[in-house]
Structure 1
Amino acid sequence: MGINFDLKVIKIGLLITLLSLIFGIGLGIAFGAKEEVFKNYISENIKANPAVHDEKSKDKIWRYVQRAHFHSAGIAAYSLALLLIILVSKMKDSAKSFSSTMIGIGTLYPLSWYLMFYLAPQIGRDAAHNHILTETIVYISTGGALIGLFMIFSSIFFDKFNEVK
């Protein structure tokens, strides 16, 4: 007797989540291989745009890209567990597909940290933090994660979104 689940029902969320995990691992590999590339990018752009920086900028911007790495790997890892819960839940296939896609979208949050790392040396930390693309990524990814979590809780504790018996 074996357990057989059709991963196709969660494939979009799984794809996004795995890509996010690869992004986080890739950043870690890049740090190990060429950390100076990241630090030089920061230093050179701070020198080119001194009016928007203070003495803390270099270290804080370096921390942004580290956060992209940490968050990407961590969020993707726990999202894989959430996708497993969705897969084995009693949700209708359409609800499994939608909720897993929302969880997958939630794993895109670390891109906001990476975008801040990319923009901050050129436009300043506050401007990068408040940039429309940064905020859009934060709101959409956070919203996706919350919707996905809401559906999981609703299915498990309140029998919502589940197949009718």
Structure 2
Amino acid sequence: MSAELSNIKVGLAIILLGLFFNIALGISFGVNEDVYKNYVAEGIAAHPEVHDEKSKDKIWRYAQRTHFHAGGIAAFCLGLIILIMYSDLRARMKQISSILIGLGSFYPLAWLSMFILAPSLGRGVAHEHIFTKLFTGIGVGGILLGSFILLANIYLGRFRD
């Protein structure tokens, strides 16, 4: 088992960080949800020119989506990593694909960046911000490329040992 784990441990570590981030965020919501809601309300009050009546609820929803995506994507990626571990991919391809899939844990940070930025910049600007785009690109691109390698191995016999 340790030989199998050695090939995927970096990707696995990234995914586990994503899972722990999800748990920590959920706990922080439960302990003091008002901190998040007050952050939104204070930002909207300081910058009313970039907000409408929907902003308060939508920006709070960004924080919730951060939590939902962090857990869901990490769980999905964990399943893919397990498939990689037992696949007949070459050792180096296992490392590469597991790291790429692990990078999927960056996608929830796009929602977090929108939550952090939207109260002061507005929802549209936060959505188009470079950090939001960067986290989206890394997360989605990583999952897609890593999954492509795994699927090419499983269904087409590519990248075999």
Scaled by the length of structure 1, what TM-score is found?
0.95
- Indicate the residue corresponding to 2:39 in structure 1: 41
2:50 maps to 52
Q: What does residue 156 of structure 1 align with?
A: 154
Report the counterpart of residue 85 of structure 2 in structure 1.
87
**How high is the sequence identity, in percent, across the aligned residues?**
50
Q: What number of residue pairs does the alignment pair up?
A: 161
Instruction: Assess if the C-alpha contact under 8 Å between 1:99 and 1:152 holds in 2.
Output: yes
| Runs of 4+ residues deviating >4 angstroms | none
Which amino acid in the other structure matches residue 66 of structure 2?
A
- The 5 Å alignment of 1:2-151 reads 5-151=3-149
Structure 1 residue 108, shift from structure 2 partner: 1.1
Taking the aligned partners of 2:141 and 2:73, their CA distance within structure 1 comes to 14
Deviations 1:94-131 (A, max 9, x none): 00000000000012100000010000001000000000
Instruction: Report SS of the residue matched to 1:108.
Output: helix
Is the Cα–Cα contact under 8 Å of residues 5 and 87 in structure 1 kept in the other structure? Answer: no
Which sections of structure 1, spanning at least 5 residues, go unmatched?
Answer: none
Greater helix share, 1 or 2? 2
Q: Could you say what the CA RMSD is over the residues aligned between the two structures, in angstroms? A: 1.0
Distance 2:139 2:72 in 1: 15
Q: Which 5+ residue runs of structure 2 have no aligned equivalent?
A: none
CA contact (8 A) 1:64 1:114 kept: yes
Please give the alpha-carbon distance, in whole angstroms, between the structure 2 residues aligned to 1:52 and 1:99: 41
| Cα distance per residue 1:57-110 (max 9 Å; x no partner) | 000000000000000001001111100000000000000000000000012100
